[in-house]
Homo-oligomer: A and B are copies of this chain.
Amino acid sequence: MAKEKQFVKEITDMTVDFPQWYTDVVLKTELVDYGPVKGTMVIRPYGYAIWENIQAELNRRFKALGVKNAYFPMFIPESYLKREAEHVEGFAPEVAVVTHAGGEKLTENLVVRPTSETIICEMFSKWMQSYRDLPILMNQWCNVVRWEKTTRPFLRTSEFLWQEGHTVHSNEEEAMEETLKMLEVYKDFAENALAIPVFVGRKSEKEKFAGAVATFGMEAMMLDGKSLQSGTTHYLGQNFAKAFNMKFLDKDGVLKYAYSTSWGVSTRLIGALIMAHGDQRGLVLPPVVAPIQVIVIPIAAHKGGVMEKAEELVSTLNAAGIRAELDAREESAGWKFNEWEMKGVPVRIEVGPRDIENGQMFVARRDTHEKAAYNLGDAQAVKALLDDIQKNMLEKSRALRDSKVVWAESLEEIVKGVDGNFVKAPWCGCRECEDKVKEAASATTRVMADDSVEGKKCAICGKEAKTAVFFARAY
């Protein structure tokens, strides 16, 4: 047992092999395991607890905006997918298909939802009659399936968990406003809950959602300088309204097609947390979403009163709204320090006989490895420390990221730049130039940047630049 536990601490050096470091960390911290079917994952309790905290943070934000949760069926008639031309082209190649059920061949095949615009728009069209029924603002938390060739826990799996918001509006302006509002909600959530700074902006035609008029994304830089698309919002115009007959009687008595949006984030965000904040010792979790915010470790636990004081401390912290736990296992303190550091718990508190005598506790923060003595049981000071860690993690990530954004004005500079960085470059906006960068640098456009390109030429073709854009290698 002890031997095995020793083994799980061997995490590959992240500077040597970052992908292997990632795999080691997700498996050894017991966030996730591989499922028996290729490309699937089991989200273990420690990983799922992060997801539950993510859900709580997002639900709070959605609810404040009047968005209501609901649940739509997972099985979609195959014919629905085909009603929106771009949508079927984008998703048909990766769906899982149910052909038999209840011992019989089905008359129509069912696809397992890769996303739910089709079935949700079908239902919305039933529920909306007049402009008074609009806007409809709904969200669902569910599993989706996209059959992928190359998979990796959290980042890309055949089945994953996500939320998908779907809204319907009576006019274009309001739908576009919603699309951008939800992008801001995601940004606020990424920065303030996950402590991950993100770039948000419009996606290129090539990178947009199949069936959208416009897609907006948020891109997070991982420690290796690659980008992780961490959330997207889509302005769908009337595309799905026309395909699913989403009409309403407007104030002027005219029957009109509505405008819709959709937006989602997934369990991918757990991958983002790992690769944006981790270090050589393993995970570093921001307090807002950490399953355990404070781990209390008794020192010389066999000595009279130590365990009691440690338990009392945990109760005090819990009562103050802190997710604190006691590690009362019969292992050495040093072994426990390593274990909880690997698991990324933001704060470790040690309580030993001498500390108790002095009315103190020893507090170590995971992000900076700093240690300090606090008054024993001072929950408010621990709360302040957690806030400080949350803030510090965002600032540190932002400083690192900002140091890795370079400006390029030629294909050569782009190729050189994307090795470990995000590259911002002026761009003419055409697909050919995107493809050239993809070929030369294995990098894609991520989102448009709002830097001025007045008088600038496209870094690739030299024609007039229409926008600045981020190029990066992406997960």
User: What is the interface of chain A, defined by CB distance below 8 A to chain B?
Assistant: 1, 4, 33, 35-37, 40-45, 48-49, 51-52, 68-77, 80, 92-103, 110, 112, 119, 122-123, 126-127, 129-130, 132, 138, 142-143, 145, 147-149, 158-159, 161
Contact = CB atoms under 8 A, between A and B. Distances in A.
Given A94-B102, A99-B99, A101-B147, A45 B74 contact: no
Nearest to A112: B98
B93 A129 contact: no
Nearest to A97: B100
A126 B33 contact: yes
A101 B97 contact: yes
A76 B37 CA distance: 7
A77 B36 contact: yes
A51 B158 CA distance: 27
Candidate in A42, A52, A142 with the most chain B CB atoms within 10 angstroms: A42
Contacts of A49: 68-69
A292 to B, nearest CB: 12
Given A33-B127, A42-B123, A43-B71, 4 more contacts: A42-B70, A75-B96, A98-B99, A99-B100
10 contacts: A1-B129, A33-B126, A35-B72, A40-B73, A45-B70, A48-B70, A52-B69, A94-B103, A96-B110, A99-B99
A51 to B, nearest CB: 8
Given A68-B45, A98-B96, A73 B103 contact: no
Contacts of A68: 45, 48-49
Nearest to A100: B97
A3 to B, nearest CB: 11
A99 B102 contact: no
Nearest to A51: B71
A33 B71 CA distance: 11
B161 A71 contact: yes
A314 to B, nearest CB: 15
A80 B36 contact: yes
B101 A35 contact: no
A42 B69 contact: no
Contacts of A52: 69
Given A97-B99, A159-B73, A37 B1 contact: no
Contact of A40 (B75, B138, B148): B75
Given A44-B70, A70-B43, A97 B95 contact: no
Contacts of A99: 97-100
A424 to B, nearest CB: 35
A218 B454 CA distance: 72
A1 B74 CA distance: 31
A-B pairs, top 4 by smallest CB distance, nearest first, are A102-B147, A45-B68, A40-B73, A96-B101
Contacts of A75: 35, 37, 40, 96, 145, 158-159
Contacts of A69: 45, 48-49, 52
Nearest to A146: B102
Contact of A36 (B102, B112, B122, B145): B122
Contacts of A130: 1
Contacts of A102: 93-96, 147-149
A259 B103 CA distance: 32
A91 to B, nearest CB: 11
A4 B133 CA distance: 13
Candidate in A52, A99, A138 with the most chain B CB atoms within 10 angstroms: A99
A291 B382 CA distance: 35
Contacts of A71: 42-43, 48, 51, 161
A121 B52 CA distance: 23
B74 A143 contact: yes
A37 to B, nearest CB: 5
